[in-house]
Structure 1
Amino acid sequence: MRNKRRTDEEWLSLIQQCRSSGFSDRVWCEQNDISINTFYNTVTRLRFRLHHIRAQHKQRSSLSPFPYRCLHTGS
């Protein structure tokens, strides 16, 4: 059976949970029944989107706070 699709907000929350868990990404994903490939593909996709958002806002006054730290390579 296929898993339901998650929103970007849901993925950001999951990535933050993973990165703050103290476990490696692989172990955390196994414990939470998430494919490690899906996890890393989503991190890459969100990082790419963030890059474009930041580039658009660079010309404007300031960028609103965004939890981008969780998108950087984890353990």
Structure 2
Amino acid sequence: MGSVKRTNEEWIKLYEQQRMSGQTLKAWCAENNINLSTMSDKISRLKKAGLLSEQNSRRNRKTKVETKWAEVTSLATDTEIQVEINGFTVIVPVDFNEAAFIRVCKVLKLC
């Protein structure tokens, strides 16, 4: 099997998918049949070229990441957040389990 040629935009999309998955880079690459060292190298090169924001790096993980498929429409209360995803409204507590919420978002994004 030969290597797959991808554009910078495709690598950026893969990086965003990995970040949203909640998985480690190693686990995500294994699950998606992507060579870990290739992905790591591409991420590094994209960051150096200014095509990937450092706000998505591990040390700044809690920074808000905007997407085109999800929108925080309002704060329901001081203890809940209302999010609209592909026409679905999800209300989550502010102390939600991030990994579980990411899995729900991935499912709703596909609907």
The TM-score, its normalising length taken from structure 2, stands at 0.48
Per-residue deviation, 1:16: 0.2
Q: Name 1:27's counterpart in structure 2.
A: 27
Q: Name 1:7's counterpart in structure 2.
A: 7
Letter in 1 for 2:27: V
Aligned length: 58
Per-residue deviation, 1:2: 1.3
CA distance 1:42–1:3, shift in 2 (3 Å):
same
Looking at CA atoms only, which structure, 1 or 2, has the larger radius of gyration? Answer: 2
Q: Which runs of 4+ in 1 moved over 4 A?
A: none
Identify which of structures 1 and 2 has the higher relative contact order when contacts are C-alpha pairs closer than 8 Å and 6+ apart: 1
Kept in 1: contact 2:18–2:25 (CA 8 A): yes
C-alpha root-mean-square deviation of aligned residues, in Å?
1.8
Seq. identity, %: 31
CA distance 1:8–1:32, shift in 2 (3 Å):
same
Per-residue deviation, 1:11: 0.3
Per-residue deviation, 1:29: 0.2
Kept in 1: contact 2:26–2:36 (CA 8 A): yes
The TM-score, its normalising length taken from structure 1, stands at 0.68
Q: Name 2:46's counterpart in structure 1.
A: 46
Q: Aligned partners of 1:37 and 1:24: how far apart in 2?
A: 13
- Give 5+ residue unaligned stretches, structure 1: 51-65
The answer to which structure has the higher strand fraction is: 2
The answer to which structure has the higher helix fraction is: 1
Per-residue deviation, 1:14: 0.2
CA distance 1:39–1:73, shift in 2 (3 Å):
farther
Per-residue deviation, 1:19: 0.7
